[in-house]
Structures are given as C-alpha cells and as structure tokens.
C-alpha cells in the first residue's frame, strides 16, 4: 500500500526547519505533497508563485515530493489528492495547543489524521517570521534558510 502525506504551510519563505521535516517525511512515506497556502487575506512577503518556486528548487532532488498550492480548507486539498494524513513539524510545547486544535478540526471536518515530527533541535527556534525580521534589519540569516532563499530575502528586503 502506498502512503502519502501532505506537508502544509505558508512557507513565507521556506526555512531549513521546514525542509528538514519535508526531507524526513519523504524518507518515510511514498509521496509527499507540500501544500502552500495562497491566502489573499494574509499579506505575504513572497507571492505564492515565488514560494512554490523556492520549495521546488530545494526539493528537486526528492523524487517523491511535489509542490501544490491551495486556497480554502486543507482537508479539501487532502481529499482532492487522495491523501489522508497531514504531516507537520512540532518545534515546542508552545506550538502544540494550536496544532492540536487544527488536528482535531481536520479530523472532524475531513477525517484526515495529523502526525507530528519533532523538529530537529538545531531548528527549534526557527520561524519564517523571525527570519524575515532579522533579514529586514540586515542581521545574519545564514543557517536559517537555504542559500538561495537567503539571497531572495536580501533582494526583497535589502540588507
């Protein structure tokens, strides 16, 4: 039996923490769909096309990973792709409360299960928002995002 998972997120932009979770999911499941939320009501630094292009470039070597965009409910994307498992990274206990709520809601409204991979300790402090804040003020972001993403951040934000 082939088992696929969806790794969802805003990925604005993808960090090394996201990439680690995607790579570990790809090593354990037959198919990984990275689902990029394209939410017109949420202002993102990078367009959905830019975010998708960055993820595609970083996951190009992983044959079982594909990148998809979605608007609306994640469970609808799961249903359309025929995947019944969401896979997410958990950084800390502070993530857990909201993640648990989302997992329970997605189970209820779509019958979709959520599994969590513990984030690698070296990435547990990382978030796209913090990386953008550091980049915005010209701080060092090496080791937080892939090199090409760091270059895109600098190009977008200066620094």
Residue 10 or residue 144: which is nearer to ligand PNS going by CB?
Answer: 10
Q: Which of 18, 31, 123, 132 is catalytic?
A: 18
Active site residue 24: no
Residue 108 or residue 158: which is nearer to ligand PNS going by CB?
Answer: 108
Give one DSSP letter per residue of 74-130, joined into a string.
Answer: HHHHHHHHT--EEEEEE-SHHHHHHHHHHHHHHHHHH--EEEEEEPPGGGTT--HHH
Token code pair at residue 93: 């206990």
Residue 102 near ligand PNS by CB under 6 A: yes
C-alpha distance across the termini of the chain, in Å: 49
Active site residue 41: no
Q: Can you tell me which residue has the tokens 């997605």? A: 106
Q: Which of 31, 51, 91, 123 is catalytic?
A: 91
Residue 25 near ligand PNS by CB under 6 A: no
Residue 114 near ligand PNS by CB under 6 A: no
Which residues have C-beta within 8 Å of that of residue 53, sequence separation ≥ 6? none
Active site residue 123: no
CB burial of residue 158 (10 Å; 0-12, 13-18, 19+): exposed
| Residues 56-75 close enough to bind ligand PNS by CB under 6 A | 73-74
Residue 117 main-chain phi, psi, to 5 deg: -105, 135
User: Binder to ligand PNS among 21, 37, 44, 153 (CB under 6 A)?
Assistant: 37
User: Binder to ligand PNS among 62, 90, 105, 134 (CB under 6 A)?
Assistant: 105
Residue 9 or residue 146: which is nearer to ligand PNS going by CB?
Answer: 9
Residue 108 or residue 140: which is nearer to ligand PNS going by CB?
Answer: 108
Q: How many CB atoms lie within 10 A of CB 123?
A: 19
Q: Which residues are catalytic?
A: 18, 42, 91, 128
Chain contacts with ligand PNS (rule: CB under 6 A): 8-10, 37, 73-74, 102, 105-106
């Amino acid at each position: 039996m082939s088992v696929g998972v969806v790794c969802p997120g805003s990925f604005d932009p993808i960090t090394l923490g996201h990439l680690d979770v995607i790579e570990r999911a790809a090593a354990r499941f037959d198919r990984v769909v990275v689902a990029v939320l394209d939410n017109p009501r949420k202002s993102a630094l990078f367009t959905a096309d830019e975010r998708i292009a960055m993820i595609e470039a970083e996951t190009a070597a992983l044959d079982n990973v594909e990148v998809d965009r979605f608007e609306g409910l994640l469970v609808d994307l799961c249903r359309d792709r025929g995947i019944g498992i969401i896979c997410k990274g958990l950084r800390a206990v502070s993530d857990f409360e909201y993640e648990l709520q989302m997992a329970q809601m997605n189970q209820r409204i779509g019958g979709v299960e959520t599994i969590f991979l513990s984030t690698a300790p070296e990435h547990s402090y990382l978030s796209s928002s913090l990386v953008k804040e550091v980049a915005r003020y010209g701080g060092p972001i090496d080791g937080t995002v892939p090199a090409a993403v760091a270059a895109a951040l600098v190009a977008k934000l200066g620094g």
